[in-house]
Structure 1
Amino acid sequence: MSEVIIVGGGIIGLLTARELVQSGAQVRLLEQSTLGQEASWAGGGIVSPLYPWTYSDPVTALASWAQDYYPELVSRLYQETGINAELNACGLLMLDAPDEDDALRWAETHNKSMQRYPGADIQAMEPNLTAHPQQGLWMPYVGNVRNPRLLKALIASLQQSPLFSVETHSRVVGFEPSRGERLQVQAKQGKSAKQVVFEADRVVVCSGAWTRQLLESVGVEIPVVPVRGQMLLFEARPGLINHIILRQGKYLIPRLDGHIVVGSTLEHTGFEKATTADAKAMLLQHAYSMVSALKEVPVVAHWSGLRPGSPAGIPYIGLLPGWRNLYVNAGHFRNGLVLAPASARLMADIVLGRDLIVDPTPYDPAVDRSSEPMH
């Protein structure tokens, strides 16, 4: 039986652990804080990249696989745990996209359902819309998942397996080859930062925005940087909006209970996670410009998270150069929730030597993408 250590307990680490455990591997997960409380918890949960035609084919390949798999994943987790991740197949309305012709060509090429709608049709779909667009794009297949509940379901499912164990408040600080083909993982645990050493046949680093700093300790450069995103939550009634609404890069996401999530900022502030009054004011302005009725709805939460920014938004998935048993699955930027099921499956396929769901070459950590812009 293969023993695998996973570093990082966000959506990528948890789903990678699930894939490996279901294949019979013994998995120990090390998390520097508590499970599922960083970018995975903070995101909006839209199961599509924003403006998907602006991304490269490697992102589209993972997103398409994951979108097809999400209903099955949420259903299975509900059966296993009784926790419903609330996949809401509500569709997405994109108002006044600047390059609609490019979008429609992309949709045709990739066999995605996308239609151009006149403003009157959009207004009929969303009677409370005050943006009054001249026209827009309708993507009926795009839904959203309630990511905190998805994370709870994943954790509950994994904890049912005797093959899975977890060490929270365990900050990994280094890796060293051990006897045979095994690898040692050094970590500091708890408030006392007690030094502990774990050992496994293979190690997968799924540490999100912290990946670059961690892998620098073994001389590997993975250009992943933290990018702060701030969000708001309105305690709205069901039916105030019916679909995800995207305009000028900002979005409204309806949850099944009627709450509406508003996002998001893109801020290069290092590892600073504090929320700001300026960001709140900006998000409120965008929300009110789309649906003015939100002015009468209380804001019940304002939070932030640190996305793992990467060149071209393409995650690093694969064996690290110079290592035989140290892998990485990180750098999903704005699309962690979107790409997670596919990147976890691909990572497990690589680790276990199985047939691969997509060509792994574009995600290879040995490929230098440092000159490409962040997306």
Structure 2
Amino acid sequence: MKVVCVGGGVIGLLSALKLANSGAKLRIIECAEVGQESSWAGGGIVSPLYPWRYDCAVTALAHWSQEFYPRIGQQLLVQTGVDPEVCVTGLYWLDLDDEAQALSWADREKRPLQRIDRRSVQRAIPALSRVFKHAVHQADVANVRNPRLVKALRAALQRMPNVTLHEQCAVSGFIREGGRITGVRTAQGDMYADQVVLAAGAWSGELMKTLGVELPVVPVKGQMILYKCAEEFLPAIVLAKGRYAIPRRDGHILIGSTLEHAGFDKTPTDEALASLKASAIELLPALADAEVVGHWAGLRPGSPEGIPFIGPVPGHEGLWLNCGHYRNGLVLAPASCQLLADLMLGREPIVDPTPYAPAGRLGFTV
């Protein structure tokens, strides 16, 4: 099977890797450089920020991926020598308004979430602000260093003789023959395939418009900042009021993120910088004396309820979607890409594919 995958973020790369491992011949097409959009810009928490607030379609993929991540991190390290740094640090949610709902969800879903007292939190994280009164904690939450994950996936794919990577290669539309999609039109010429996978993140909706299909995937801007601290400064992820601090092994601390509807504008703003710094200091007061060493913006692929589109597009045989992961692309990637591969290869799917199917969600009937 010859497959063209449009999009070189984590979703596109991991989709390609799973299909290539099954013997398919892949072309990955990326309009800029691999992994430099949302996959690079995100924080890499291997959990939805507030999983109990999401539809079960999202948490089903998240649960599968959370169990898979440590294994894929080790596999990529062995294969490529690049460590994606999948680190289990745990996550503390501070002063939740819906704590009872969170604990009820955890009990129902058999997730190891528990309420802990303030003194225990302070002992675990001495740098944490004392303004917070209570917390819930999940000890098995990991984070992945997403730029390194992209680098590792790229290295793994480049070692495969059945994979070709085309960067700086914009896709302008699809090649349609009768009712079937047989390839894509690109800046480097037409590229034909038996199957086409659209995994272009925030740009997926724009490409579907070329087929007259309204795909509700839109760009949602997010800005983050980065501090450099001592390696032991923050031992776990902390989250309060929708803002989080994520520790990396080398002492870098990520603070995120904003939620802005600004089209495809990725310009960092002074307003966001001030807001993120205020959140950082509220969480970790010592950061008032630390220097911001990075500030950037990325575009999430926003979708209704954050439920991704995974599966074939009715009326366009040969076209598959794996997009619209909104704020959870990194955590949902392993399960989303496994589900896509299962569907394309006719295997038993890891989860019920119905909630993610484009059929019905795009106004189609089957």
SS in 1 for 2:230: coil
- Match for residue 58 of structure 2? 59
- Match for residue 101 of structure 1? 100
CA distance in 2, matches of 1:83, 1:39: 20
Q: Which 4+ residue blocks in structure 1 deviate beyond 4 angstroms? A: 178-182
CA distance in 1, matches of 2:176, 2:218: 27
1:220 and 1:321 in contact (8 A); partners too: no
- Match for residue 7 of structure 1? 6
1:301 aligns with 2:300: no
CA distance in 2, matches of 1:115, 1:182: 49
> TM-score normalised to the size of structure 1?
0.95
Question: 2:221 aligned to 224, 228, 231, which one?
Answer: 228
1:311 and 1:369 in contact (8 A); partners too: no
**What pairs up with 1:36-75 in 2 under 5 angstroms?**
36-75=35-74
Q: Deviations over 1:123-170 (max 9, x none)?
A: 111111114321110011111000000000000000000010011111
SS in 2 for 1:61: helix
2:181 and 2:319 in contact (8 A); partners too: no
Superposed displacement of residue 181, structure 1: 6.7
CA distance in 2, matches of 1:246, 1:109: 22
CA distance in 2, matches of 1:31, 1:125: 43
Worse-matched range after superposition: 118-127 or 222-231: 118-127
- Match for residue 313 of structure 1? 306
Structure 1 letter corresponding to 2:217: V
> TM-score normalised to the size of structure 2?
0.97
- Match for residue 192 of structure 1? none
- Match for residue 186 of structure 1? 185
- Match for residue 245 of structure 1? 238
CA distance in 1, matches of 2:173, 2:218: 19
**What pairs up with 1:137-176 in 2 under 5 angstroms?**
137-176=136-175
CA distance in 2, matches of 1:223, 1:149: 30
Superposed displacement of residue 176, structure 1: 2.3
- Match for residue 373 of structure 1? none
CA distance in 1, matches of 2:321, 2:127: 45
Structure 1 letter corresponding to 2:326: F
SS in 2 for 1:308: strand
Unaligned runs of 5+ in 1: 190-195, 371-375
1:364 aligns with 2:361: no
Worse-matched range after superposition: 318-327 or 267-276: 318-327
Worse-matched range after superposition: 132-141 or 253-262: 132-141
Superposed displacement of residue 182, structure 1: 6.6
**Structural RMSD (CA):** 1.3
SS in 2 for 1:123: helix
Superposed displacement of residue 84, structure 1: 0.5
1:348 aligns with 2:351: no
CA distance in 1, matches of 2:146, 2:290: 23
- Match for residue 276 of structure 2? 283
- Match for residue 86 of structure 1? 85
2:306 and 2:325 in contact (8 A); partners too: yes
SS in 2 for 1:366: helix
Superposed displacement of residue 329, structure 1: 0.4
- Match for residue 30 of structure 2? 31
- Match for residue 117 of structure 1? 116
CA distance in 2, matches of 1:366, 1:146: 34
CA distance in 1, matches of 2:266, 2:211: 27
CA distance in 2, matches of 1:307, 1:332: 8
Unaligned runs of 5+ in 2: none
Q: Deviations over 1:282-319 (max 9, x none)?
A: 00000001111111222110011000000000000000
CA distance in 1, matches of 2:340, 2:276: 36
Q: Deviations over 1:7-42 (max 9, x none)?
A: 000000000000001111000011111100000000
CA distance in 1, matches of 2:362, 2:304: 6
Question: 1:259 aligned to 252, 258, 263, which one?
Answer: 252
Change (3 A) 1:180 1:251: closer
CA distance in 1, matches of 2:51, 2:362: 20
SS in 2 for 1:65: helix
